[in-house]
Structure 1
């Protein structure tokens, strides 16, 4: 309940009226003019007190929160510092790991290139290996075929040798194994002797083994030299038989061949020895002496 002043209708004085909390309107007509005044009561005292109390509670709550934050910050400050230190350390480790990663990436790139190169080389080698394997298999097949052919030829050779051994030689020729030999009685140069053997449908003797060497030595006269089918005319120092086959077994005398006194000694001769198997010597092709033909 509050009071207010109002003006009396008959005079200019104001009266104090008790009014409640509601708004009241008062209308007055003076000198033909109507005046209207609105009044509102003040709130009751207990509501003001409640408002003040609420404000105090808010302030108290803010203070409590501030104190909590303050004390909580003081209480967790060491842990926070420790976490901050850990964070800083992890940051440094992260930076170091990033550097290491960059370094490893740089090292990886040339390794990757090398790996790619080696992979290509491996593939090429694999291809070459496959090709060589195929060639090897083909060669193995060819080898097997040639081995069979060789065995067949060897059997055929044995058969022919047996047949040849039974073949008689012409008059004046001497039989040994599968060949016939003719000892000349006229001295001729190596080239003349070669031509003479060809005329007889033969060739200067080709000595293939020790048995044949011993046979020639036994028929030759003591300390006599005879031409055999050996020469290095086509390539100095490379001795071959007259049919072009290279030497496989040799019976050169001591220090032979030597091209004595740097003369052209490009033809081979057989020297008889009292003990088998005799030996060979190089001599000038223009020297005239006996020869042995073989067919």
Structure 2
């Protein structure tokens, strides 16, 4: 009887141990499966993150390429505008040179009737202005009539030395142009009382007598080339 009881107890214990072993083994399997699933989730998340980063990197590279192309396009457009401006200036320059060649005046000179005129862009004394004209193969302008003077004003010479000089002697003061001709229209000049002024320049409406050491613009004149 005792052997039977012991045998029964032993069998129950063995059965219990088997169930515990099965339960323990199943728990281990579940744990391994859970861990594996977790690892798969982590790996999948890492792969997704890697793909997302690659897409972002590609998108950033594309944006960078687009911005670089925009900059290159803008630089090319600026270069085109500069070239177009230079072309227009060159065309204008060639047109001016062709016109001057037809007119028979040197570059930078203006034509009126049969003479060429140069208007200075700086100021000098009357004597130095005359030296400059002589260096250019010309002389300070000799004004023969109002029309010529109006033409010079159109060239931009509002206030400028002219080739008129006072000739002093014991009896009479006279005015002579640099080409040797006498001034006939003396109404255009007025000598201030008590002053002896030897040079003249054009004013806004009339001629102004002045000291030759003053600084003014000037106009050179010479015959046209052909």
More strand by share: 1
With CA pairs under 8 Å and 6+ residues apart, which has the higher RCO, 1 or 2?
Answer: 2
Q: Which of the two has greater helix per residue?
A: 2
